[in-house]
Amino acid sequence: MVAGTAQAHKPSDSYLQFDVAGQTIEGRWDIAIRDLEWQLGLDQDADRRVTWGEIQDREPAIAGYALAHLQARMDGQVCDLSAGSLQIETHTDGAYVSLPLSGRCPRFGTQVQLQYDLMFDRDAQHRGLLRIAHRGQVETAVFTPTRRRQVFDLRETRATRVAWQYFHEGLWHVWIGLDHLLFLAGLLLPTVLRRQPGGFQVAESPGETLRDVLFVVTSFTMAHFVALSLATLGWLTLPSRWVESAVALTIVFAAMNNLVPVVTRRLWLVAFGFGLIHGAGYASVLSDLGLPPITLALALLAFNAGVEGAQIAVAAVTLPVAFWLRRYRWMQWCVLVPGALLVAWLGVLWFLERALNQTVLT
């Protein structure tokens, strides 16, 4: 039985769920098979496929590796965690090993501290998504390389913590997403400089340029929010591999539209359409965590506020420079043209990598 496929590594998430009852902790930890293959080398016959038999053979190593990167404390006392028999779970981005977790703490307390270090030594973009419940109260949090330790007071649910962490993740989603930044650049450049037969057309009015930029950025974020919400609520389910491939194609289009203009007016409509695709690409993360509706809505709003904020910040820094330089021929011929070709080339490689599930860029 094939449990998963060995593939090129990409930024990943794991899903950690805890239910706390008195001194007892029960939970489940889903870790992507591709991450375990990358860390532990599960594919013993090197056929680029990880079978259920290969996973069972390495079960002690998998459990040991996971438990070595997670620690729970209650009122400062270390809880004894153990893993049950492995299972396979399918998330929208592939197959995961699911570890049942159980533990008991030396004494009951209202403060729970979790320390999470999985994958951070090799992948700074990895995220650990946590759902922790106690007496019906559910909270969520995100572990990152700079936020490995989190403390929870079981007597309260802190909405501000949820909002801040997902707002931060929205910012981070843009900062670390080279494909997202290149797509944004390709989409915004025509607001200041556009190729036309025989040369270039430059923007004349800073006010009109600012208006166009705000329309494009806001349309993209609104579409991103719509797609993310629909997918998180289970009303939109698309194969992650093909969505990611479509995201790569949007980058190719945005870049080539600077050289061979197809859309020259109402770029915000294009931004909205492509925002739906980009939003669907990130959609699986929250839906796979199983959050209650209010917590889910707060996380969604905060995440998209972060995306909008990051995009506006990027535009605020780069577009004034582009507007200032837009009339220089070297800007037009030595920056815009080769830059657009480079972005289009990267988009094509990303498309091949994602569509064919092969490593092209290393």
Per-residue pLDDT reduced to its tens digit, 47-84 = 888 899 999 999 999 999 999 999 999 988 999 999 99
Per-residue model confidence (pLDDT) at position 78: 95
Please provide the DSSP assignment of 80-139 as one string.
Answer: EEEE---EEEEETTEEEEEEEEEEE-SS--SEEEEEE-TTTTT-TT-EEEEEEEETTEEE
Distance CA 292, CA 14 (A): 19
Per-residue model confidence (pLDDT) at position 134: 84
Per-residue model confidence (pLDDT) at position 49: 85
Per-residue model confidence (pLDDT) at position 4: 42
Distance CA 16, CA 12 (A): 13
Per-residue model confidence (pLDDT) at position 201: 82
Distance CA 246, CA 77 (A): 48
Per-residue model confidence (pLDDT) at position 190: 81
Q: Which of the residues in the chain have pLDDT under 70?
A: 1-11, 92, 157, 281-290, 357-362
Distance CA 36, CA 118 (A): 10
Per-residue model confidence (pLDDT) at position 7: 41
Q: Considering only CA atoms, which of 194, 141, 179, 212 is closest in space to residue 350?
A: 179
Kindly give the pairing relationship between strand 13-21 and strand 127-134: parallel
Per-residue model confidence (pLDDT) at position 284: 57
Per-residue model confidence (pLDDT) at position 40: 93
Distance CA 253, CA 78 (A): 53
Per-residue model confidence (pLDDT) at position 88: 92
- Its pTM stands at 0.68
Per-residue model confidence (pLDDT) at position 11: 61
Distance CA 154, CA 185 (A): 44
